[in-house]
Amino acid sequence: MKAIWRAAPLLVLSLALGGAAQASSYIAVNGSVSVAEPGQLGRALGVSYDSRIGETITDTLPGGSSVAVFGPASAPSGLTSAVINGGLSGGLYDGHASFATAADLRNGTLHASAASGASYAPYNGYSSTNATMVDTLHFTVASGGSASVVFTAHVDGAIAMAPSIYAEAGWTDQVGFGGPGGPTFIYFGGTSFDAGLQAVDYGTYLDAGHVDTRVGWDSVLSSNLSNTGHDFRGVFTVSDGQSLDFTHRFALQCVGGACDFGNTAAVGLILSDGVSFTSDSGVFLTQAGGVPEPQVWALMLVGCGLAGAALRRRGRAIAVRSIPPGLQA
């Protein structure tokens, strides 16, 4: 772990060495925080690690108008797992904001937590963070033909906010295979408060135009849809020798509360007998929690097939109270 100290704020950045990734695979973790208080100039901090570049730190200097950028720094490029942490605190009204974010190609997980607040509500701190993993997967089908693969995704977080018209939390979980027309989805979740300080929770696969984002799959099965999580299983077909680009991105913003998605955003593949894959990174889903045992394949595939059509119709009927602007990353 490397600690970088400045007069204000305190930044701690840690990087977990996970081996080198190929150019076509990478991870990226980013976080930004800011605090604005009455009669004082704002302060902002940004931290990022991109395995293609290295580490970058952006810090507004006292006065709020000058920006210092550090990086790429000593953190090496090419890592397959990384963790970053950052925060701001202090000031007349005790404004504060912090984040912790991680990505790991080895077990297919993205983690994000963010918190911000102040004793004087209109001057809440602001915290946002996101994590991305990209890899290219190469499938082999022993029969030489095609076969079905089940993809799984799981998010189960927590949001804690005191009622305030200034408080808001929002997150997105986005997956895509193979580019335009390939299997994909985006899940939108979060909480805000209306003028009467009543919580407005939302959790949906529908975009701002009420269009279902779960497209390109042979069948889908979605469950546990809420403002803090979802479970997704989708079936898609691969051919022997086929290569597919894979992208997974999780983004979170939190104002006036605490949003903990630090033990979640995991993906996996369920492979039938005779199907295998390699990845450009050389490590994707090589650790526990990535690819379930083959014996669960038949049950999963049947379940997805039977429930897919009904759940797609049901998904289009999910009520969307509001999707705050800017959350549709």
DSSP output for 139-153: EEETTSSEEEEEEEE
In a domain, 226, yes or no: yes
Mean pLDDT in runs of 10 for the chain (329 residues)?
Answer: 26 39 77 72 81 82 57 68 82 73 94 79 76 96 94 95 87 91 94 89 94 96 96 96 96 92 90 94 81 40 35 27 29
The residue behind tokens 């990226």 is 28
In a domain, 326, yes or no: no
Q: Which domain holds residue 93?
A: 2-315
Q: Which phi and psi (to 5°) does residue 245 adopt?
A: -75, 140
Task: Give the single-character DSSP code of 61.
Answer: P
In a domain, 324, yes or no: no
What's the structural domain count of the chain?
Answer: 1
pLDDT score at 91: 57
299 with 39: CB under 8 angstroms?
no
In a domain, 322, yes or no: no
In a domain, 153, yes or no: yes
In a domain, 321, yes or no: no
Angle, alpha carbons 120-122-125 (nearest 5°):
85
CA dist 190 to 28, 33, 152, 213, Å? 23, 19, 21, 17
Angle, alpha carbons 65-83-113 (nearest 5°):
75
Task: Give the single-character DSSP code of 300.
Answer: H
Element (H, E) at 307: helix 297-315
Model confidence pTM above 0.85: no
For residue 16, the Cα-to-chain-centroid distance in whole angstroms is 18
Q: Distance between CA atoms of 127 and 252, rounded to whole angstroms?
A: 8
In a domain, 55, yes or no: yes
Burial of 64 (0-12, 13-18, 19+ CB in 10 A): middle
In a domain, 160, yes or no: yes
214 with 222: CB under 8 angstroms?
yes
pLDDT score at 317: 25
